[in-house]
Structure 1
C-alpha cells in the first residue's frame, strides 16, 4: 500500500476512479475511551484500513484519563473494531493497524500529558514518517474545548509551521448552544487553528444518500428543470428515531431536539436540497451555495401554529411498553425539554419563493427513518372523469437517507383492466440492489476527508452561525411554553398534524 498513486506502479495517477490516499499522518482522538470512539471512530478507522484507504504510516493516538499502556489501548480498540466494524474482521489487517496504535494518559488540564503528546508526535516522525501531519479529533464535551485548545496552543500542537506538516482539528456538534456561544467557540478555535484547518463534523453529510443528492440533481436532466416553485408544492424533511434518550439524559435535557438535530442535521439537509448548482464541487463553492440558502431561510409568522414541539409520554413501541421522557433516569420530573420538533420554514429565493419546507424530528416515533420528500404540484388539467382519478395523489420523489438507502418515485399509472382507472404506484431504487459495493459508514468518509484535507462535507463557521440565527428565535418563543405531549410509538403530537392541515397538506407516513 502506497501513500500516493505515483508510489505504486500498479496505480495510474491519471485514473481518477482510484482512491486517493492520505499522506502518512496521525489521528489523535481526545476522549479515546468514550462511546463515540468505541462505537464509531475506531470501527471506522479499522474499516478504512481494511479497504486499503489508509497510508502505511498512519497512526491512531488515543488520549484519555485511563492509566493504560499501548497494549491495553490496543485491546480496547480491537474489541471496538470487532463489535462495530462494517467490514469483516481480518487478522492481517488488525496486525498492521495494531502496530500503529499509541496511548497518552492524562487529564485535559495536565501540562505534562500534553507535553508527552507532543513528544509522541515527534517520535512518530521518525518511526512512521508522519512528517508533522496530525489531525486532532475532539471527541469530548464542548465545555472541555477551551482547556484542550489552549493546551494545544501552548505546546505548539496546533501550529503547522512548528510541526513542519499540516495540523487539523475536528469538532463534534453541538457547535455552541445559541448564536452568541457559537461565535465565542468559533473565535476560540480560530485563535488556535487557521479556518481552513477546522473541520466541524456533521456525520449526516457523510452518508452516501445525502451525497447522492448532488448526482440526482446535477448529473441528470430529468429533475433539475422541475426543482423549483413552478413544479414543487412542498418539501418534507424527516428524521425519526424509535429509540429514547438512552444514557444521554444529562446532555439531552440541556439540549433538546431543536438544538440536537434541527440546528445541524435538518438545516444542512434543507440547504443541500435547496441550493443552486455550484460552479464546481470544491469545498468553498458548495459552502457558498449552502450559505446562500441558510441566509434566505424565513421563519413562520405564527410560531404558535407553525413551530411545534413535543415530549413523549409512555406508550407502546414494537410490542413493548416504553416509559415516558419524564420517567427516564436522571430526567427532572418538571422538565420541559422537547423530544420532538416540527417547523415550517420558507426559502426566500426566486427558485423557492412560496414553497413551504416542513422539517420534523423526534424520538420514540414508530420507526427509524430519515428522508427528504419532494411533493410536486398536481397536473393543471386531467382529461379523465373524477372517479377515474379518485385515488391519485401528487407525484412525489423521496430520497431515503436511512435505512434502506435509495430513492422512490411516486406517479400515476393506469390500473390493468377495461376501465380507465388511474392510481399511484411507486418505482424504487435501492443502493443495496443496484451496486455491489457496500455503503461506507459516514464516519469512514469524513475521517478520510479530514486526513485528505477535503472540507467539502464540513460546514464552516458562517453556516453554523446562520443556523443559530434560525433556531434562536424559536428557542426564545418556546422558553415560555410547555411542549405538547405525544404517546411513544405515535408520529408526534396532534399539533404537528394540525400544522400541515392548516395548509391543506399532511405528513407523509414513511
Structure 2
C-alpha cells in the first residue's frame, strides 16, 4: 500500500541547535523521510544553526554520519542522500550575541514559509525570538517550533509565554509534543469521532475506568542533571500523559481544526479534580545486579526526585463523573510500552450464570512499540460441552493492516510538515500549557511541603508495590506491562 503524499509549499527551515542530539537523532532523519516520500518540494531548504564553527560541507557530513548512526539499515542510499544533503546549509550563530545573525538573515528568501525550530534549552527561547525580530526575519509566514519543557511550573510557563508573545502571535507559535504526532494518537480521534460504534458508549455510564501507561526500560542516562530537577511528574505527566488524557476525555469538537480541538482539550483540564495525596504514588528505582540506581545515575546520593509516578484522577463533567482515570509512568520498568486502555463496565445481568468466567470488554490503544489497537470481547469457546465463555482479542497492528511496505511516519515527520502547512491542531496552545501546570503545581507543592520521599522499586519490575495498592483499593488492577 502506498500512502498519498501531498507536497507542502516551498520553505526555509532553520534548525537552531542543529548539532545537538535531538536534531541528529530525530529532526534531520524525519526531514529526510519526508524528502524521500516526495513531500518536500525541490525549492525547500534546511539551514542548520548552532554555536559550532564549521562549514556547510562539515555540517552535511555530520548529518550523513547521523543517518548511519541512528537510522541503521534504513539510512538513505548514496545518490538519494547526496540529493537531500544538497539542500542543507549552515550558519554559526551565537544565540545570546550578535555573531552570525546577519549572515543567517541574508540566506532567507522572501515569499516562502519561514520556520525556525528551537531545538535548544528553554533559556535560549527568549534570546532566539529576540534575535529573529532584531534582524528582520519575522514575516507573516514565519513560524517557530519550541520543544518542552514549557516552563518548570505555572509561573515560569507564564513568563515563557509572555516572552514569546512579545515577538510572535499565538498562531505563529508551535509548542511541540511528539506524542501527539503518533499515528495511533491521531487514530484515537478517528476511532472516536469517525465511527458511531464507540462514541455512544464513551462515558461514565458504560466505561468503568481508563488506564494510561507510559513505561520505559531505560534509566535517566545522560539526562541526569535535567531529570533530577524535573522528575516524572514534570517530565511526563504534565505534558505527555495530560495530552493523552485530554484526547480520551474531551467532547467532540465542532470541526477538526486547531482551536476547536484545543478548546475541548482545555475544558478537560479545567474539569480535572484536585488530586488527593492518597491518590498519588511516587517511586524511585534502586540498583540491580547490572544496573546503577537512580541516585547513582544522577550522582546525587540524597535525591528525592521521582522516576515513577502513579495517580488516580477524577473529572467533574457530565460525561466522566464517577469514572476514574489511572495514570502511571516510570523508568527502569519491566517493559517498554505506551498504551491507553479503556475498560468497559460489565453487563448489568449475566444470562450465563454468576459463575461464568466473565472478563470486561476493553479497547487498548498501543502507542509503542507496536502501534495498533485491540478490542477484547467475549465469545463462546469452540466445541461441545455447553456455553463456555472465552475472551478474545480483535487485534489490528498498523504494520500488518497497512502492509510492511508502507512507511508509517514518525511523529516528528508529521508534526514538522504540519508546521510548514500552518496547521496547529496537534500542538499545544499557551493557555492549555498554563492550565496543565495550574493542576500539576499543587501536587508537587504538597511533596515539597511535607518532604515526601519516593518509594523504592527494583529495576525491571512494574514499579513500587504502593502503586498496586492504589488501584487494588478500588477492586481494580493494572494491566500487566509485557
Q: TM-score, normalised by structure 1?
A: 0.90
Q: Is the 8 A contact 1:21 1:452 kept in 2?
A: no
Q: Is 2:379 aligned against 1:413?
A: yes
Q: Cα deviations across residues 232-277 of structure 1 (Å, max 9, x unaligned)?
A: 0000000000001111111111111111110000000000011111
Structure 1: distance between partners of 2:192 and 2:126: 41
Partner of 2:117: 137
Match of 1:71 among 57, 60, 70: 57
Instruction: Supply the RMSD in Å over aligned alpha carbons.
Output: 1.5
Partner of 2:323: 355
Match of 2:397 among 430, 436, 445: 430
Partner of 1:26: 12
Deviation, 1:338, is 0.5
Partner of 2:149: 174
Deviation, 1:156, is 2.0
Deviation, 1:400, is 0.5
SS of aligned partner of 2:319: coil
Deviation, 1:393, is 1.9
Match of 2:346 among 357, 369, 378: 378
Structure 2: distance between partners of 1:405 and 1:341: 24
Question: Structure with the greater relative contact order (CA < 8 A, sep ≥ 6): 1 or 2?
Answer: 2
Give ranges in structure 1 of 5+ residues lacking alignment.
Answer: 1-16
Q: Is 2:477 aligned against 1:509?
A: no
Match of 2:307 among 336, 339, 342: 339
SS of aligned partner of 1:135: strand
Q: Is the 8 A contact 2:9 2:112 kept in 1?
A: no
Deviation, 1:438, is 2.1
Match of 1:80 among 66, 74, 81: 66
Q: Cα deviations across residues 116-138 of structure 1 (Å, max 9, x unaligned)?
A: 211222xxx2xxxx625311111
Residues 445-456 of structure 1 correspond to what in structure 2 (within 5 A)?
445-456=414-425
Structure 2: distance between partners of 1:252 and 1:331: 12
Q: Cα deviations across residues 414-439 of structure 1 (Å, max 9, x unaligned)?
A: 22331322232222111111102221
Q: Cα deviations across residues 446-470 of structure 1 (Å, max 9, x unaligned)?
A: 1111111111100100110111011
Structure 1: distance between partners of 2:33 and 2:4: 17
Structure 1: distance between partners of 2:69 and 2:84: 16
Q: Cα deviations across residues 335-385 of structure 1 (Å, max 9, x unaligned)?
A: 111100111111111111111011110000111110000001111100123
Structure 2: distance between partners of 1:62 and 1:350: 49
Misfit runs of 4+, over 3 Å: 17-20, 82-88
SS of aligned partner of 1:412: strand
Structure 2: distance between partners of 1:92 and 1:295: 52
Partner of 1:467: 436
Q: Is 2:216 aligned against 1:249?
A: no
Q: Cα deviations across residues 280-335 of structure 1 (Å, max 9, x unaligned)?
A: 111111111111111111123x31x211111001236xxxx21210121x421101
Structure 1: distance between partners of 2:367 and 2:387: 36
Match of 1:326 among 291, 295, 298: 295
Q: Is 2:463 aligned against 1:492?
A: yes
Give ranges in structure 2 of 5+ residues lacking alignment.
Answer: none
Structure 2: distance between partners of 1:509 and 1:494: 14
SS of aligned partner of 2:60: helix
Deviation, 1:203, is 0.2
SS of aligned partner of 2:66: helix
Aligned residues: 473
Q: TM-score, normalised by structure 2?
A: 0.95
